[in-house]
Amino acid sequence: MQRSEQPTTCMITSSRGGARARTFAPCLAIKSPGRDPSSVRQEDILSVMINESRESVVQSATMGSLRRGLLASLALLFVNLLPMALLLPVAHGAPAAGTGKTKISAVFVFGDSIVDPGNNNNRLTEARADFPPYGEDFPGGVATGRFSNGKVPGDMFASRLGIKELLPPYIGSDLQLSDLITGVVFASGGSGYDPLTSIPATAISSTGQLDLFLDYKEKLKALVGEEEMARVISEGIYFTVMGANDLANNYFTIPLRRHQYDLPSYVEFLVSSAVNFTMKLNEMGAKRIGFIGIPPIGCCPSQRELGSRECEPMRNQAAQLFNSEITKEINRLNAEQSVPGSKFAYIDIYYNLLDLIQQPGLYGFKEVTEGCCGSTVLNAAIFIKNHPACPNVYDYIFWDSFHPTEKAYSIVVDKLIQQNMQYLM
């Protein structure tokens, strides 16, 4: 399928196996951290030794023994360089963007379909995306289970932070040690902080995702030992992305919770559940947790369809109320420090995504009310299997009726990193 490309986007187009793969290069300039002083000294020593060897070659040539001098000097250089090379430090993880020597060993993500890269693929659920048109702009044009046309935020966080290009699902993928030691995703499409939210979608609940994390820790310990496992867990950075399903697909759709709670009370219940999740994750060893709030769900194409095609105000107000209350709790957790050395950050996706929706032309978008694959409540997941996509995805903020396009995700993730990473370092 040929598409008109927008020259204003940060995009790279390549061909793999005959299929076009469109990816978006980071638009955020990330400065390289300074070198470790010990590393500089070792490199200086190596430089001096190389220069001395060169001088030895020149002296040998002057005496008419160029060949013998050259061979001798090269041998001397090898003998001297070998032990020095063995002393060079081995890197564990990547320095954080613009944070000096702070290391990030791995990226771990918990959440819902915004960040699920395929954990639902083998589940008996309607919340799946391992079929076309999903993934048509993913490298190789493969539908991996990511709920978008290409990469999703977990991949982008890992890539921007210098860990790896793709963040794999923990379930159902052939993970190598290099995959495990640099981070995985436990998220499941259809999940939420409310335990009832995951039931209709047969998704992995938030509690189930924590159980998977415990399983991951044991698996990693068996492979690398307890000390190295503890280092990876402690130096890792964690993101949690849930709450949208609790409001859009549970409270505002299924009557049960509305009979039990008015909206402020339900939001209070959600906030309490989210805090408990975060504290349990913290107690399991996660020291740096980025808590991504609820996006403006009332502006999703599926929610616009319920009213006048404008953003549905009550759903957006509910998201804002949750984000406001969880921010207070995040501040409290930072103050209390129940696990010393922990850092928590509220990450605002609401206004960053809303900015794209309200000023689409500024970011090269033309369509904000419909998804590239349709806009009705059922234009997502299994309901659009093999559904034709629009020919000009780069004009669209939303891929289906719930989930943004790779281009929109890329812009938002760059903003989130620029605004928030310093609070987790």
Q: What percent of the chain has pLDDT over 90?
A: 68
In which region does residue 164 sit, left (phi positive, over 0), alpha (psi from -120 to 50) or beta (all else)?
A: beta
Helices H / strands E in the chain, number of each: 14, 10
Average pLDDT over residues 369-388: 83
Predicted confidence at residue 95, as pLDDT, reads 55
Taking residues 300-322, report their average pLDDT: 92
Single-letter code of the amino acid located at 42: Q
The mean per-residue pLDDT over the stretch 152-168 comes to: 97
Pairing assessment for the beta strands 367-371 and 343-347 based on DSSP bridges: unpaired
Look up the CATH superfamily of 95-424: SGNH hydrolase (3.40.50.1110)
Q: Which of 323, 199, 345, 191 is nearest to 278 (CA)?
A: 345
What band does 247 get if pLDDT is binned at 50, 70 and 90? very high
Q: Output the pLDDT for position 305.
A: 82
- Of 105, 113, 342, 401, the active-site residue reads 113
* pLDDT tens digits along 45-69: 334 333 443 444 334 333 344 334 4
CA distances to 56, 196, 289 from 101, rounded to whole Å, are 38, 43, 19
CA distance readout (Å), 123 to 57, 87, 115, 305, 395: 68, 48, 17, 29, 33
Q: In the prediction, which pLDDT does 50 show?
A: 35
In the set 148, 375, 403, 414, the catalytic residue is: 403
Given a cut of 70, whether residue 181 has pLDDT beyond it is: yes
- The DSSP-derived string for 326-349 is HHHHHHHHHHH-SSTT-EEEEE--
Q: Is 403 a catalytic residue?
A: yes
> Above 50 in pLDDT, residue 419?
yes
**Residue-wise pLDDT tens digits, 26-51:** 333 333 333 333 333 333 433 433 34
Average pLDDT over residues 235-263: 97
Q: Is residue 268's pLDDT more than 60?
A: yes
The question of whether 400 is a catalytic residue gets the answer yes
What integer pLDDT is reported at residue 380 of this predicted model?
Answer: 77
- Marked catalytic residue, from 130, 155, 395, 400: 400
Sequence spans of domains, the chain: 37-87, 95-424
pLDDT of the residue at 103: 87
Whether 155 is catalytic: no
Report whether pLDDT(25) > 50: no
Q: What is the pLDDT of residues 72-120, one digit of tens each?
A: 343 333 333 333 333 333 333 455 544 445 689 999 999 999 999 999 9
pLDDT at 23 over 60: no
